[in-house]
C-alpha cells in the first residue's frame, strides 16, 4: 500500500521559517502531482500549493512569494519551504499526492496524516 509520511511541522514565531517534507512510499508506478493543503480550526481545508509531474506549480494567493514547493523525484518527496510565516498560517498541513500504484496507470488521491504548524507572536 501507498503511504505518505509528513515531517517538519512545529512551533515558530511570526516571521520565522519552516520546511515541511512528505515522502511517498510503497508500490508506486507514477506520481502525477503532489501538494499541500491546510486546515485551520473552524475552517475548511484549503489548497496551499501543488506541483505537477511537469514541475508546474500553483499557490494559494495568501502564500505567494512566501512559500516554495518542490519535488525530489528520486525519493518521491515533496517539500514546502515556508518563509515569513504569519498568524494565519497556523493550521494542520496535509500532504496530498496523485499516485498510480502497482502496475496500472490509474491515479488515486492519497493523504498524509497531517502535521501541525503553529505560528506565535
Give the residue carrying C-alpha cell 514541475: 55
Using alpha carbons, select from 120, 121, 116 the residue that is nearest to residue 40: 116
Using alpha carbons, select from 98, 75, 72, 91 the residue that is nearest to residue 12: 91
3-state SS, residue 99: strand
Position 121 scores a pLDDT of 85
Using alpha carbons, select from 33, 38, 20, 1 the residue that is nearest to residue 79: 20
User: Which residues of the chain have a pLDDT value below 50?
Assistant: none
Amino acid at each position: 500500500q501507498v503511504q505518505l509520511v509528513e515531517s517538519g511541522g512545529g512551533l515558530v514565531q511570526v516571521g520565522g521559517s519552516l520546511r515541511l517534507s512528505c515522502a511517498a512510499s510503497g508500490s508506486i508506478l507514477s506520481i502525477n502531482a503532489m501538494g499541500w493543503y491546510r486546515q485551520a480550526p473552524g475552517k475548511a481545508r484549503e489548497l496551499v500549493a501543488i506541483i505537477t509531474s511537469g514541475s508546474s506549480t500553483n499557490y494559494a494567493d495568501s502564500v505567494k512569494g512566501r512559500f516554495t514547493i518542490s519535488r525530489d523525484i528520486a525519493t518521491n518527496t515533496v517539500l514546502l519551504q515556508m518563509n515569513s510565516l504569519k498568524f494565519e498560517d497556523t493550521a494542520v498541513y496535509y500532504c496530498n499526492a496523485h499516485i498510480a500504484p502497482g502496475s496500472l496507470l490509474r491515479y488515486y488521491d492519497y493523504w498524509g496524516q497531517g502535521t501541525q504548524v503553529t505560528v506565535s507572536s
